[in-house]
Structure 1
């Protein structure tokens, strides 16, 4: 009697699984996708240290230059790579105080347009400062 390869039965609960060839192809595609390294992202985050708040939400921001609650805020805009469970790329971070960061991420008060306007204006103010700051650190290193 000749032996044949294993085949899945049409009504089997496992018949919906992808074939081995498909699984191998998917794993090759995933391994080709380049993910940013920690050191590439950390230079954008360290640039935010010691900076004042750039969000400056009226009525929310403390505008204290010595505020220790200033942290890197990631953009929440889809065009910057934000998705469900995914943060935007580190290039789209800017310094924000704790109160403004809460307003941007968790508060129900602002509309989408207000959040978008605040994010884009903060990025516009921060990008030239960050470029100059990162250029100086690269010259020293």
Structure 2
């Protein structure tokens, strides 16, 4: 069994990205914190967090809604997270925190 991918520098960079989850009637805006995927296909299992490359920048309110809220179905939460993840990766690339390999 392989350990999940961990990258402290990547997680630290996420704190410099404004909330990308942007959940309506919930989002507090401002800089986010790393919100890991809750999907098993991204390495999530029990108390084990997903790989660090599967994060979205989420304000505390949006992060809490995804992890503990009951407003959305599991599928809706996955869609919200996926959009946020894509926005986060783009923001990290634009600020030079990640690079695309050739």
* Category of TM-score, reference length = shorter chain: 0.7 to 0.9
Q: Which residue of 2 aligns with 1:4?
A: none
Q: For CA contacts below 8 A with separation 6 or more, give which structure has more relative contact order.
A: 2
Q: Where in structure 2 are there 5+ consecutive unaligned residues?
A: none
| 13, 25, 33: which one aligns with 1:71 | 33
| 1:53 equivalent in alignment to 2:33 | no
Structure with the greater alpha carbon radius of gyration? 1
Where 2:57 maps in the other structure, the secondary structure is: strand
Aligned residues: 98
More helix by share: 1
Q: Which residue of 2 aligns with 1:134?
A: 97
Query: Which of structure 1's runs of 4+ aligned residues deviate more than 6 A?
Result: none
Contact 1:61 1:97 in 2 (8 A): yes
Superposed CA RMSD? 2.0
Q: Where in structure 1 are there 5+ consecutive unaligned residues?
A: 1-32, 137-141
